[in-house]
Structure 1
């Protein structure tokens, strides 16, 4: 491989990078990201909410979407970054969210739950963060009950134009950012095509400006 190709390659993303990046983001995460990601979180919660049921929130972060759920929905949140979870715990206490059964430090690619534990799983803005998206999706499919849903919200990278060039530039800084700007739909679409148990129910662009995409999957 030539030097030019090497310089264009995205930086490697691993759990060490993710944890250190989000530990830095934790104190200001809500201020920086709450507004731009709010529409996506509302859409994800509307699809995943299960009053009288049990929902797993993967990559719960500071818990921004937890108050959006129906108070009858039992919630468990997991995240790799402990400083983010501390913020989520303060939100749970401050807003008296008695339907949150636990906030746990956990790797999304190795979930410590039995098979078919949840009525739905929601993972907002997580696919671009995990080093191995397919491993995470396999785990989400494993822990959701048959007939249950996996609800995802993520930025899907542009294939051409100025935005694609910007994402390519940012992609070389993935390790520092803590996420992967150049995430293509084919990563998720290819996984769905290879998993007979996963069926795509819905795919739609979200505000602002179609920057994010909602995907709803059903487990057969």
Structure 2
């Protein structure tokens, strides 16, 4: 005869004295004990059905059953169809990182406005080879073209460009790599510092 130690411990936690928990747990697990008729439980405990020990054991087992039933009642059954419908509603959606509260507003600076917007930083210089003035954008902090924010801006711009030119037979899509060497404007808002503006150069590699 083997005493199920885990079952005995559980019975003792339920308030049944060790002596009687030992008797009930001999060659039985909790499932076996809960399936026992009242007469058999009284016989195993060695007491009458009027005894407080028997009454306490039965109350403890009954309370355990009620707790399990309440725990089951909290479960929510979701039909397969509901899951499929939910998946269909979400199909094709993609999280836009620019909508996150911790991500500052970012936008592409139009090429024709780059010189004007970067003027305060004194990036206008003379090209040593041609002698012409140029914008030294390479001095700006860099951001990779694979950055999630840059990718969102890329997809949004390309989609808008294609939509605007959908009826134009001579429409030419944006070339591959069109985003490289473009300037990204970053606008951060702070309750203490107000608004700060920074610029970054989009590059294809570090």
Same fold, judged at TM 0.5 (above):
no
Which protein has greater RCO, CA pairs closer than 8 Å, 6+ apart? Answer: 1
Q: Which has the higher strand share?
A: 1
Q: Which has the higher helix share?
A: 2
Structure ID, larger Rg: 2
TM-score where L is the length of structure 2: 0.21
TM-score where L is the length of structure 1: 0.20
